[in-house]
Amino acid sequence: MTDQLTGTPNRRSFDTRLRLDWNRAVREQLPLSLLMVDIDYFKAYNDAYGHQQGDDALITVARSLSGALHRGTDFFARWGGEEFAVLLTGQSREEVLSLAERIREEAAAAVIPGIDGDGAHVTVSVGVHTRVPTTECRIADFVACADDALYAAKQAGRNCVVQAGRTVRLPASMWAYVWRSVPARRTASCWPTNTRTW
């Protein structure tokens, strides 16, 4: 099942794949990572340039995501609106963060055609959550933590990558600000026990 506009898997495909990868990660005790990728200021972009140009931006970001993923087990889908979700299995936190930063960089560098013959650019914010799930964990909490990390990236100024307990391309002085903005109700069920708290 694919998204008609971008040609990527759609939300329903993602939900099916997430259940499969989650069960495998629980069974084999593998790290599972979810990256929530959201185009920054997309509504303003749509309002300024029109919906057709907005569609072109979505297609361009989808292509940049596809180009950043190289393993056969990597999976991404259009989550909805201007948001995409990336699912990674068996990669370390460092590898996941490196990939998330590459996604951010490639999205920013991609040229969106169509504005009076000149190219346009958009940026993305990325929320990352990685953990080795157990039978006590819930998929809903796993997704909620990645979504909270995305919210923290937006609060931190956008065009950045934020992972539970740490941040990329932000001054250390901003860490407390970023993570105080994450709802505390989710920390116990989502974050690893060695996550830094404030």
What's the full length of the chain, in residues? 198
**β 75-80/83-89 pair status:** antiparallel
DSSP codes joined into one string, 66-127: HHH--STT-EEEEEETTEEEEEEES--HHHHHHHHHHHHHHHHH--EEEETTEEE---EEEE
- Lowest mean pLDDT: which of 12-21, 27-36, 117-126, 160-169? 160-169
3-state DSSP assignment of residue 129: strand
Q: Specify the pTM.
A: 0.84
In the chain the domains, ranked by start, together with CATH numbers, are 11-190 (3.30.70.270)
Q: Pairing state of beta strands 32-39 and 83-89?
A: antiparallel
Q: What is the mean pLDDT of residues 97-117?
A: 89
User: Which tops the pLDDT comparison, 11 or 187?
Assistant: 11
Mean pLDDT of 149-178: 71
* CA distances, 70 to each of 26, 99, 145, 177, 192 (Å): 24, 10, 25, 34, 27
